[in-house]
Every structure is written in structure tokens, then in C-alpha cells.
Homo-oligomer: A and B are copies of this chain.
Amino acid sequence: MITLYSMPSSGNSYKVRLLLAQLDIPFEHIATEYAGGRELTKTDAFQKKNPTGKVPLVEFEDGRFLSESNAILLYFAEASAFVPTDNYARAKVYQWMFFEQNFHEGSVATRAANLTYPDRAHLRTPEILDPLLQSGNRALDVMETQLLQSPYLVGDHYTVADIALYAYTHSAEEKGGFDIAGRSGISAWLNRVKQQPGHVSLDWLPG
């Protein structure tokens, strides 16, 4: 069985738990949450497994590792319906996943993290929060433009691109103070994603 190191409250970790649940892939879970478990990622033993010191991290039974949430999604979803077989559609899935890691996470998720994690209380100044609101709104507008045109980010079917972007978007209003209700494309898409077979919420853990 694979082992997944993941942080229960983190969107990047949630992505992987959601996909594994939907693909019915069993995994052992090691939580690396704040207050205790997170210290694990600072140890030499963990940093040998993943030199970035980040989760999620997958450890395979043969001792190999895979990190970076979206790489993990693509690996496990490879032969499933969640990765299109058409070359161009697959490239569009990649496009949205790189957009997520390069633009969306650094704005939408970072603002939410600053507002919710106790050790980030010093990052709640207007100088820091206001630009994150602006860039996060731009990222959400890019999604909204697409989701007013197609039910999912890449056409008519749910893919790993939707999982990647659902993770931090579904809580962007509650945690990050972004206006999601006013974006009808995103709001309808969030409901579509939630209704996928096998969907689990952020707090689901195998057990």
C-alpha cells in the first residue's frame, strides 16, 4: 500500500486525498498538521524523502517517492477518465494545473493561509493582503471566464484540472474573503464538482 504524507487542512494535500478516494486507491495516511505533526517535515529523515520539505508526498512500497500535488494527481489519474486522451485536451488540463500552481495558489491560497493560520498572523497587513486580493481576483476571473463557457475547466468532463482548482477555490470565500457567490460560473462549477461520484470533503481521512 502507498503511504501519503499530507496536511489535513491544506488544499494541496486535499487534492490528492480526493483523487485517491475517487479512484478507490487505498493508502496509509500520515498527517503533518500544524502543532505537532508538521514538525515532521522539518526533520532530516523527511527531507531525505522530499528535499523541498513539503507535503503532499507519496511513498511507494518499493521506497520510491513522488511529490508536488499536481504531479501526484497526473500519476494516479493517468489511465483514468480524469485525464483526457486527446493531446490538445490533455495539454489544456496541464495548462490549468500550471496556472493553479503559478498564479492561483500564490494569490487565492496564500491570502486564505495568511488569514487562517496562527503562525501567519503577522502577514495580515493591508500591504500584504490587498495585493493578494487583487491578484486572487484576477485568477478567479480567469476561471470564471472559462466556466461561463464550459461546465468543467476543460470541456464537458471532470478532470484532474478541476480537482486541482477545486481544492483552494471551494474555501476561497470562507477562508480568503474572495467573492465566489458573485461569480456564477465558479459557483455552479463548485456544485458540479461536489456532485461527482466518490467526492469527499477536506476533512475526510481514510480510516
Which residues of A approach B to under 8 Å, CB–CB?
51-52, 64, 66-72, 74-75, 78, 87-88, 90-92, 94-95, 97-99, 101-103, 105-106, 138, 141-142, 145-146
Contacts and interface: CB of A to CB of B under 8 A. Distances in A.
- Copy total for this chain: 2
Given A66-B92, A88-B64, A71 B51 contact: no
Nearest to A94: B71
Summarize A's interface: helix, strand, loop or mixed.
helix
A67 B88 CA distance: 12
B51 A74 contact: no
A87 B74 CA distance: 10
Contacts of A67: 95, 99
Contact of A71 (B52, B71, B98, B146): B98
Contacts of A103: 52
